[in-house]
Amino acid sequence: MYLFTTPYVDENLDTRDRLFMRTKLTRAISVLKIEGEYYEMRYPSQDEIAEAQVVYYGGHNYYVDDTEAADLVAAGYEVVAL
């Protein structure tokens, strides 16, 4: 059993204001497996979700089996053995 945590990105709120330039928000990225390949999407559409074999919604942790963990590692993602 492995644990997969979806990726994230830190974004500035507003670069025009010096105060808000220093404030960052963490935004989750969803990972979809479509036709055997993984794609990162901020806001996947309903059609993309329906097309995907596996959907990992951003901001969540997922327990994955050995096969899926190997596929994720091969695609460049980090999984943690439990």
Residue ranges covered by each domain of the chain:
2-81
The pTM assigned to this predicted structure is: 0.87
Give every CB contact of residue 38 below 8 A, 6+ residues apart in sequence.
Answer: 31, 32, 71, 72, 75, 77
Span 54-81, average pLDDT: 97
Q: What is the pLDDT of residue 72?
A: 98
CA distance 39 to 35: 10
For the CA atoms of 38, 44, 48, 50, what is the dihedral angle to 10 degrees? 100
Query: pLDDT for 7-66, tens place per residue?
Result: 999 988 777 777 777 788 899 999 999 999 999 999 999 999 999 999 999 999 999 999
CA distance 20 to 71: 39
